[in-house]
Chain A
Amino acid sequence: MNNVQSKKRANKKSLPFFVGDAFKVCIVIIFVSIVLLISTFSFDLVPPILNRGIQPATFPKGLLILIILLTSLVYYLSLKKPWKIEKKLPNSFFITLFNFALFILISKFLDFFLAISILSVFVSYSWGERRVLHLIMVSIIFPIIVFIFFETILGLRFPAGIITNLYYY
């Protein structure tokens, strides 16, 4: 019964045109391209007397129009041959993606290495790791090794933060 239903759903005629992946993907690409295309009109222009060849905005404009045209073609072809229906994304994906965002926030406002540690422990835990020693290894010991390695071998100075300041000052 379930199979029959999923087969029915896979039939392009049973889906409104705006529900399919092809429509969503193409509309996002076209929307972003149009926004970028509009922004190219705000680029500075080279005065005609100094201009040799094309304006700096012309090339990106051409590329964006090409992307819009090709994406429309992709959508048109998807009407003839629908894309395969992708499985729903699991929670673990959204947790990992959320961790990326969390990393950006913590590295911006608190500390770069604290952000690495927090992401590592969260990702590892949400992916199923429950052994405390392993979590410590991944979130504390390994980042420290990486820090020392980059700091001593490459002579790199990491951005200031509540933990890195303890090392530097």
Chain B
Amino acid sequence: MESLSLMLAPLFSSKLLIVLFFGTLFGLILGVLPGLGPTTGGALILPFTMTLDPLSAIVLLTSIYCAGTYGGAITAVLINTPGTPAAAATCLDGYPLAQKGEAGRALGMATVSSVVGGVFSVIVLVFFAPFLAKLAYEFGQPEYFALAIFGLTMLASIGDGSPIKNLIAGAFGILISTVGKDFMTSIDRFTYGINELSEGIGFIPVVVGLFAMSEMLIQSTLLNQIFKRVALKAVKLPTLDDYKSTWKTILRSSGIGSFIGVLPAEGGTVASLIGYSEAKRWSKKPNEFGKGSIEGIAGAEAANNAATGGAMVPTLALGIPGSATTAVILTGLIIHGVRPGPDLFREQPEFLYGIFGAMLIANIMFFILGFFGAKIFARITLVPNKLLWPMIFAVSVCGTYSLSQSMLDVWIMLLFGAIGFFMRRYGFSVVPVIIGLILGELVEGTLRQSIVIFDGNWLMFLTRPIALTFFVLSLIALFFPLLKRNKKKND
């Protein structure tokens, strides 16, 4: 009961409601614009959160996360281009249904299933995160090391693209985190005499570079691309028949999305693809998939929004991000002096339940804004790239500069823009770099402290049951794609 009242606290704070409203609105706009999304948007808004108190700042970021994930569906349905990668599966049936003159029905189903998925995942978050936090009290340095390794291997295994390339990207991310003064000995590493590098490479320049600037370079190669738009009259709520045919799919996808979200991976993107394929597998009309199936839209959208709450579970309970956007939220928490982990649950329950409540309200808010404003949001995509991207560039460089008032950060951002472009061009996902960068200090720190604890005996890792479990799970995660491929071959 006390938890419920703490969760509803944002409803009674006009300041938090305003923050929620603007976060949801901004998230929707970012989600609608192809190439942008909650990760880039969150990174760009991070400097502005410095003017807010910690709770308002995190509420702003989480509302952007929830609404941005849904916003991608609007573009997916109307112009067959996912606003966010998580909405890629929505295109498969959303656009064909819109072409049949039922864009309103497609968006209505996307909106309802997104809200159900989002609310479901918040419930999972409320119950599962404190449980995981309690479990984390059993964790020492070796366990955290094993957990971080498990996170990275999961990311490689179920993330987008080739697992080996994902591992390389993850190792690259960890390598970036080693730049600067070594935290145990203060010895400079990879600084090459540049004093500003002693502090290390910041998270924001890398995120903005890898996501926003690399996208700008990608857009520069797509100047002649023409989008075929489908007109939208109004968003229609699903009919009773639609509900009857999709309620099981929505619930199933919500469960899948929440589970996938908890695993450190590309959250919504993988969740929506699995949610979609499971919806097809269980459907009575699998032949309709790809031709405008309402179940396909429901399966994909419920799953990607359910991944938002799921991804917040390890972020808040363990300090290990479940997705690229939660890595930005984690940075927001750290910038504002909040250390995620089990102690947070014991010491600041009002803060945590405020976030849970805000996520719940954000889901309801994007339902209202999406339902009544989808037509207006769809018009945002009409802003031509030749005007939009120079403006995003201006905000990106100022936002990156503002965090430590360093021009080096801006140059690093541009460098990572070019690196990100070539990574994406040759099939290396940039998400593992982000997760590797944020987990890097944890991986190295816990490894080195474990070696000190074990007096240099590496085999002692095997005497810790929790660590051993995570190592075994990591091995399974690593070999899972191989087994899957072999099984496919045999079939």
Contact surface of A with B, Cβ cutoff 8 Å: 21, 25, 29, 36, 39-40, 43-44, 46, 52-54, 56-57, 59-60, 63-64, 66-67, 70-71, 73-74, 77, 83, 86, 89-90, 92-93, 95-97, 100, 103-104, 107-108, 112, 116, 119-121, 123-124, 127-129, 134, 137-139, 142-143, 146-147, 150, 153-154, 156-159
19 extra interface residue pairs, beta carbon distance < 8 Å, beyond A74-B168, A123-B393 = A53-B451, A59-B444, A60-B189, A60-B190, A63-B178, A64-B175, A70-B167, A74-B164, A116-B397, A124-B390, A127-B220, A128-B386, A129-B386, A138-B387, A142-B390, A147-B398, A156-B402, A156-B405, A158-B401
B 178-201 contacts with A by CB, 8 A: 178, 182, 184-185, 187-190, 192
With A83-B426, A97-B418 as contacts: A56 and B185 at CB distance below 8 Å: yes
Chain A min CB distance to B215 (Å): 11
Which residues of B are found within 8 Å of A60, using beta-carbon distances?
A: 175, 178, 189-190
Q: Which of chain A's residues has its CB closest to B428's CB?
A: A25
With A74-B164, A74-B165 as contacts: A92 and B448 at CB distance below 8 Å: no
17 A-B pairs within 8 Å (CB atoms) are namely: A36-B190, A54-B451, A59-B178, A59-B447, A60-B175, A63-B174, A67-B168, A74-B165, A96-B217, A100-B418, A104-B414, A112-B397, A123-B220, A123-B389, A124-B387, A128-B223, A153-B51
Which residues of B are found within 8 Å of A100, using beta-carbon distances?
A: 213, 414, 417-418
Q: How far is the CA of A154 from the CA of B217 in the complex (A)?
A: 29
- Report if B407 contacts A (CB, 8 A): yes
Q: How far is the CA of A93 from the CA of B386 in the complex (A)?
A: 13
Which residues of B are found within 8 Å of A121, using beta-carbon distances?
A: 390
B 367-426 contacts with A by CB, 8 A: 384-387, 389-391, 393-395, 397-398, 401-402, 405, 407, 410-411, 414, 417-418, 422, 425-426
With A63-B178, A74-B164, A96-B216 as contacts: A56 and B221 at CB distance below 8 Å: no
B223 and A73 contact, CB distance less than 8 A: no
Which of under 10, 10 to 19, 20 to 34, or 35 or more describes the interface residues of B? 35 or more
Question: Chain B 199-235, CB within 8 Å of chain A: the 1/0 string?
Answer: 0000000000000010011001101000000000000
Chain A min CB distance to B207 (Å): 17
Q: How far is the CA of A100 from the CA of B452 in the complex (A)?
A: 45
B390 and A120 contact, CB distance less than 8 A: yes
- Report if B449 contacts A (CB, 8 A): yes
Which residues of A are found within 8 Å of B391, using beta-carbon distances?
A: 120, 138, 142
B187 and A43 contact, CB distance less than 8 A: yes
- Report if B475 contacts A (CB, 8 A): no
A90 and B223 contact, CB distance less than 8 A: yes
Q: Which of chain B's residues has its CB closest to A100's CB?
A: B414
A127 and B223 contact, CB distance less than 8 A: yes
With A54-B448, A104-B411, A158-B401 as contacts: A146 and B168 at CB distance below 8 Å: no
Query: Which single member of B48, B164, B190, B221 contacts A89 (CB below 8 Å)?
Result: B221
B217 and A157 contact, CB distance less than 8 A: no
Q: How far is the CA of A54 from the CA of B386 in the complex (A)?
A: 51
Which residues of A are found within 8 Å of B47, using beta-carbon distances?
A: 154
Which residues of B are found within 8 Å of A83, using beta-carbon distances?
A: 426-427
B164 and A77 contact, CB distance less than 8 A: yes
Which residues of A are found within 8 Å of B335, using beta-carbon distances?
A: none
Question: Chain B 434-460, CB within 8 Å of chain A: the 1/0 string?
Answer: 000000000010011101100010000
Chain B min CB distance to A81 (Å): 10
Chain A min CB distance to B438 (Å): 15
Chain A min CB distance to B428 (Å): 9
- Report if B480 contacts A (CB, 8 A): no
Q: How far is the CA of A148 from the CA of B174 in the complex (A)?
A: 37
Which residues of B are found within 8 Å of A142, using beta-carbon distances?
A: 390-391, 394
- Report if B171 contacts A (CB, 8 A): yes
A44 and B188 contact, CB distance less than 8 A: yes
Chain A min CB distance to B165 (Å): 6
Q: How far is the CA of A162 from the CA of B171 in the complex (A)?
A: 42
